[in-house]
Structure 1
Amino acid sequence: MSVAGSYDCVTKTPMGPQKGVLTIVPGEGDTFTGNITGDLGSMDIEHGKISGNTLTWQMKMTMPMPMDLDCTATVDGDALTGKVKAGMFGTMDLTGTRKN
């Protein structure tokens, strides 16, 4: 099963639900690139790794404040579920649905 594609996502943050579109582009071997674009701008995926249907990656948030994000998600069919670890703000839930 390919994890590639774009997903309409929602991250449950302390500022309320943040919507965005997560785009996953497979790279060489078990790597991937892409980005997430939403209300607070765009962030590039860094160090993306694929293990079966599980994804791990990092992003550097700049708005509303600079912060490194550690992300993990599992793709099951067209559904994506995961977690975003955001420093002192703890871990937030991430959900998404593949766009057609």
Structure 2
Amino acid sequence: MSVAGSYDCVTKTPMGDQKSVFTITDNGDGTFSGKNAGAMGSMEVENGKIDGNTLTWTMNMTVPMPMKLEGNATVDGDTLTGSVNAGAFGAMAMTGTRQS
């Protein structure tokens, strides 16, 4: 099953739960592109890689402060489970459900 799709996600951050829509586009060559769009704006996926059902990526956050985020997640059916590493803030749990 493809990992591609849009997922309704919640990330547990120091500022509380942040809801977003994480969009994954499978580029067909072991990489993916997409974005994570939430209340604080949208971040483009960079260096997106697909290994089976495991995803790794980076994003450059600008709000509320500039920071490079490193993400990893596993897609199991319609469920996405992973974390986003936010430098000094550490890893933040991220979960999502694929939109139908």
* TM-score above 0.5, yes or no: yes
Q: Specify the code of the residue in structure 1 equivalent to 2:61.
A: M
Residue equivalent to 2:76: 76
Q: Please give the per-residue CA displacement for 1:27-62, whole angstroms capped at 9, x wherever unaligned.
A: 141000000100100000000000000000000000
Q: Is 2:45 the counterpart of 1:45?
A: yes
Structure 1 CA distance for aligned equivalents of residues 42 and 92 of structure 2: 18
TM-score (norm 1): 0.99
Structure 1 CA distance for aligned equivalents of residues 29 and 99 of structure 2: 24
Q: Specify the code of the residue in structure 1 equivalent to 2:29.
A: G
Q: Which runs of 5+ in 1 are unaligned?
A: none
Residue equivalent to 1:21: 21
Structure 1 runs (4+) deviating above 6 angstroms are none
Residue equivalent to 2:98: 98
Structure 2 CA distance for aligned equivalents of residues 21 and 82 of structure 1: 14
CA RMSD between the two structures: 0.5
State the number of aligned residues: 100
- DSSP-derived class of the 2:64 partner: coil
Q: Which runs of 5+ in 2 are unaligned?
A: none
Residue equivalent to 1:9: 9
